[in-house]
């Protein structure tokens, strides 16, 4: 029982961490975030389902097409939903990205439908036996993908010219412009990347939780809580916080019942932020005067 709860918690927590990485990426570079990340997760799952199941496109083609489409969606979000307000020093992008998430959700209801649909996948058909209990292969795949994405992003930032440009933009937009770095393009890239990462999470969870227009609402909220707990300046902290949050939820549901999952989970969020306002691995910013 304990092993199953722990494995389930790690799988779900890795998913939270994966989506939370999207919040962390955009915040680190632009001090803005896309609060429609949950809707982006849903768009990824719905689009992949439509291509693969409805129109018969092979999964090996549907997945990359979905990722590219969601990357483009993220860049459009930055250009038309975030940038016009952020450039003027306004925080209205908070509301506009939330509004966009509601719009995307309702568009999905109109086009895809309100019903929940199962996503048949060989990764979630037959459980395999590990330590005496059954687990679907996708539950093992999710942590592997989450860790792989985190490592890939780390390598991108630390070892590539693009990564060095992103680091320069995160330090100072004005200085980066003087160095000839296209700041707006770099910020748009991070929004595209974060949206694609959320779409990937949606495709991973779809065979387990099924596909619906509202599937991303609560997941997006939990991912944001994970990002805050981990510390928005620390990508590894975000992933660790996601896994810890998933474990707390899994243990609460397994020991107390499913109805306690959200109660215990968000209670822990409140407690952690009361004790560590800047997150588990975050630090207070030092302002120079």
Question: What DSSP line would sit under 40-67, residue for residue?
Answer: HHHHHHHHHHIIIIIS---HHHHHHHHH
Domain boundaries, the chain: 2-275
Report the interhelical angle of 261-275 vs 235-256 (nearest 10°): 140
CA–CA gap between residue 87 and residue 95 (Å, rounded): 15
User: Fold for domain 2-275?
Assistant: ABC transporter involved in vitamin B12 uptake, BtuC (1.10.3470)
CA 111 to chain centre: 24
CA 261 to chain centre: 20
The Cβ of residue 147 has, within 10 Å, a number of other Cβ atoms equal to 15
What is the reported pLDDT for 236? 86
| Cα separations in angstroms, 15 against 40, 140, 147, 181, 203 | 14, 11, 10, 33, 11
Q: Are 205 and 222 in contact (CB under 8 A)?
A: no
3-state secondary structure of 133: strand
3-state secondary structure of 9: helix
The pTM of the full predicted model, rounded to 2 decimals, is: 0.93
CA–CA gap between residue 268 and residue 264 (Å, rounded): 6
- Name, in order, each residue with C-beta under 8 angstroms of 171's C-beta and a sequence gap of 6 or more: none
What is the reported pLDDT for 56? 96
In degrees rounded to 5, what are phi and psi of residue 21? Answer: -60, -35
CA 53 to chain centre: 24
CA–CA gap between residue 190 and residue 33 (Å, rounded): 10
- Half-sphere exposure at residue 118, Cβ-oriented, CA atoms within 13 angstroms: 5
What is the reported pLDDT for 2? 73
What is the reported pLDDT for 288? 42
Query: DSSP letter at 284?
Result: P
Query: DSSP letter at 120?
Result: -
Instruction: List the pLDDT tens digit at each of the 289 positions of the chain.
Output: 677 888 889 999 999 999 999 999 999 999 999 999 999 999 999 999 999 999 999 999 999 999 999 999 999 999 999 999 998 888 999 999 999 999 999 999 999 999 999 999 988 888 888 767 778 899 899 999 999 998 999 899 889 999 999 999 999 999 999 999 999 999 999 999 999 999 999 999 999 889 999 999 999 999 999 999 988 878 888 999 999 999 999 999 998 988 899 999 999 989 988 888 878 876 654 444 4
CA–CA gap between residue 74 and residue 193 (Å, rounded): 7
């Amino acid at each position: 029982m304990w092993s199953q709860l722990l494995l389930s918690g790690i799988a779900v927590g890795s998913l939270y961490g994966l989506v939370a990485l999207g919040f962390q990426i955009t915040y680190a570079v632009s001090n803005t975030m896309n609060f429609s990340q949950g809707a982006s997760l849903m768009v990824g799952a719905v689009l992949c389902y439509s291509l693969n199941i409805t129109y018969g496109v092979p999964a090996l083609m549907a997945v990359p097409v979905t990722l590219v489409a969601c990357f483009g969606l993220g860049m459009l979000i930055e250009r038309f939903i975030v940038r016009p307000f952020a450039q003027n020093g306004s925080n209205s992008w908070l509301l506009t990205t939330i509004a966009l998430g509601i719009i995307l959700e309702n568009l999905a209801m109109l086009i895809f439908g309100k019903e929940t649909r199962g996503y048949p996948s060989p990764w979630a058909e037959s459980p395999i036996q590990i330590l005496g209990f059954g687990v679907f292969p996708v539950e093992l795949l999710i942590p592997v993908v989450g860790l792989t994405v985190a490592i890939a992003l780390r390598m991108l930032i630390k070892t590539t010219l693009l990564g060095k440009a992103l680091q320069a933009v995160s330090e100072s937009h004005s200085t980066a412009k003087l160095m000839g770095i296209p700041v707006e393009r770099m910020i748009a890239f991070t929004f595209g990347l974060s949206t694609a990462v959320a779409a990937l999470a949606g495709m991973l969870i779809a065979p387990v939780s099924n596909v619906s227009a509202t599937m991303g609402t609560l997941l997006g909220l939990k991912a944001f809580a994970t990002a805050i707990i981990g510390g928005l300046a620390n990508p590894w902290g975000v992933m660790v916080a996601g896994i810890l949050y998933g474990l707390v939820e899994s243990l609460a549901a397994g020991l107390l019942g499913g109805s306690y999952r959200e109660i215990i989970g968000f209670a822990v969020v409140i407690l952690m932020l009361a004790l560590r306002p800047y997150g588990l691995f975050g630090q207070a910013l030092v302002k120079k005067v």
